[in-house]
Amino acid sequence: MNQAGPRRAGGVLRFAAFCGYALLLAPVTVVVAVSFSSGQFLAFPPPGLSLRWYQALFTNADMMAALGTSALLAAAVSALSLLLGLPAAYAIARLDFPGRRIMADLLAAPLLLPTLVLGLALLLALQPLKLVATWPGLILAHCTLAVPFAVRIMTTSISSVPADLEAAARTLGASPLRAALRVTLPLAAPGVMAAAALCFLISFDETVISLFLVGPRLTTLPVELFRYAENRTDPMVAALSMLLISIAFAVVLLVERAAGLTRTLSKD
């Protein structure tokens, strides 16, 4: 008999879903626990709890320098991607001109490449220009990845602002630039905020491209985490992971409070 309502999933399905969730959430949960470990090794469950690995992390000069680099880099990439992406997004969303579709595709092109291939290509191109392990090189590389996302999100949010409002402002004597900046932009602000946050996170979490482009004197936090995980496995890597995770969540929460990130992204 199958009297259970259609809403109620069957037992087998529910068990399979539970296994799926366990697999999805296990590593993150374990990282949280292990980062508070008092032991010497990356072991779960930890032998006891302490903050020693956080202390080790925050007193590690290399890690703190990398944190500073990553934060500054992400902020620069986020700001630049908005500056570059906003006019492009406006053009795609509002203007009608020959090649609009092609332009939108061109602006999304970097997303076609795996980051590994893009990282290698950037290394080969930037090495002769002496831009490897420099700020301009890293900013260019991260912007290449962030701009397509920025354009896409902002195009969606600008399109969702009724064009009539801008037309009304124009009728009342506003110049096209003024109408766009004073009417459409404020109404599209949640999308712009979401784009800024996403670009920040893309840069802040970027590992693979950075691996090709960092040097001993300029390195980012995800690269340090990767290198540390490759060579050593004491719980400091877990504390470091937690640092990355908490900053990512802080940014998401901040934007969620301010603009509703999930809402903005799901509008797509």
Partner 1 sequence: MMGWLLAAPALCVLAFGFGLPVTVLFRMSLNRTNEMGAMVPDLSLQTYAKLLSDEFAAEVAFDTLWLASGCAAAAVALALPVALSIRAAPPRWRGVLALAAVAPLLVSGTARIIGWIAILSDGGFVNAVLLALGLPEQRLINNWTGVRIGLTESLMPYAVLVLLAGLGRLDPRLDEAAATLGAGRSRTFLRVTLPLAAPALLASFALCIVLGLSAFVTPRLMGGGRVFVIATEIYDQALETVDWPAAAAMAIMLLAVLGGLALLRALLPARAR
Q: Footprint of partner 1 on residues 14-43 (CB under 8 A)?
A: 14, 16-17, 19-21, 23-31, 34, 41-43
Q: Nearest Cα to 177, choosing from 163, 166, 191, 162? A: 166
- 56 belongs to the binding site for partner 1 (CB under 8 A): no
Residues 226-245 that bind partner 1 (CB under 8 A): 226, 229-230, 233, 237-238, 241-242, 244-245
- 201 belongs to the binding site for partner 1 (CB under 8 A): yes
Q: Which C-beta is closer to partner 1: that of 126 or that of 169?
A: 126
Residues 58-87 that bind partner 1 (CB under 8 A): 80, 83-85, 87
- 44 belongs to the binding site for partner 1 (CB under 8 A): yes
Token digits of residue 116: 């590994």
- 193 belongs to the binding site for partner 1 (CB under 8 A): no
Q: Which C-beta is closer to partner 1: that of 27 or that of 68?
A: 27
Q: In angstroms, rounded to a whole number, what is the distance separating the alpha carbons of residues 167 and 164?
A: 5
CB of 68 to partner 1, least distance (A): 18
Longest dimension (CA), the chain: 73
- 103 belongs to the binding site for partner 1 (CB under 8 A): yes
- 12 belongs to the binding site for partner 1 (CB under 8 A): yes
> Total residues contacting partner 1 (rule CB under 8 A)?
91
Residues 140-159 that bind partner 1 (CB under 8 A): 140-141, 143-144, 147-148, 151
- 211 belongs to the binding site for partner 1 (CB under 8 A): yes
- 132 belongs to the binding site for partner 1 (CB under 8 A): no
- 8 belongs to the binding site for partner 1 (CB under 8 A): yes
- 101 belongs to the binding site for partner 1 (CB under 8 A): no
- 107 belongs to the binding site for partner 1 (CB under 8 A): yes
By CB under 8 A, name the one of 36, 53, 54, 90 that touches partner 1. 90
Q: In angstroms, rounded to a whole number, what is the distance separating the alpha carbons of residues 219 and 210?
A: 8
Q: In angstroms, rounded to a whole number, what is the distance separating the alpha carbons of residues 215 and 227?
A: 12
